């Protein structure tokens, strides 16, 4: 997975855009992410969309990537152990052409 990195101001952004959202430069490139992030906020979803009913309850979270952009994904670990500020890592093994839902796992303290 990648974010866009602006060559003029250095900002990282996601989702991809034609122009940098900070300085409007069109001089950027895609940069691979480390996959580590911090939980910004989360909620428990007990009645998810029909295609995800078998996964309920789902811990849906907004995380701040170490590169800066915020993304929404789910956290696969025990919901009782997740809190704002928890460190997580993207589990890229769950991604495929059929499954683009981002799943994060807790990092040990
Ligand atoms: Zn910029």
Ligand 1: distance of its center to the CA of 106 in Å?
Answer: 31
Same domain for 74 and 90?
Answer: yes
Distance of alpha carbon 27 from alpha carbon 29, whole angstroms = 7
Same domain for 61 and 19?
Answer: no
Predicted pLDDT at 53 = 82
Ligand 1: distance of its center to the CA of 65 in Å?
Answer: 18
Note the pLDDT tens digit of each residue in 10-54: 999 999 999 999 999 999 999 999 999 999 999 999 888 887 788
Tokens encoding 107: 């990092």
Note the pLDDT tens digit of each residue in 50-98: 877 887 888 999 999 999 999 999 998 777 889 999 999 999 887 788 8
Distance of alpha carbon 75 from alpha carbon 65, whole angstroms = 14
Ligand 1: distance of its center to the CA of 61 in Å?
Answer: 27
- Which residue segment(s) compose the domain that 27 sits in? 2-31
CB count within 10 Å of CB 87 equals 15
Q: What is the pTM of this model?
A: 0.86
Same domain for 27 and 61?
Answer: no
> What is the total count of domains within the chain?
2
40: domain CATH number is: 2.40.50.840
Predicted pLDDT at 98 = 80
Ligand 1: distance of its center to the CA of 74 in Å?
Answer: 29
């Amino acid at each position: 997975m990648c974010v866009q990195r602006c060559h003029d101001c250095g900002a990282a952004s996601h989702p991809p855009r034609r122009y940098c959202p900070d300085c409007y430069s069109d001089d950027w490139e895609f940069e691979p992410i480390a996959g580590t992030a911090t939980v910004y906020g989360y909620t428990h979803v007990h009645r998810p969309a029909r295609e995800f009913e078998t996964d309920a309850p789902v811990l849906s979270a907004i995380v701040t990537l170490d590169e800066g952009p915020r993304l929404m994904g789910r956290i696969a670990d025990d919901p009782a152990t997740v809190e704002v500020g928890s460190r997580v890592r993207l589990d890229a093994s769950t991604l495929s052409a059929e499954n683009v839902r981002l799943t994060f796992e807790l990092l040990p303290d």
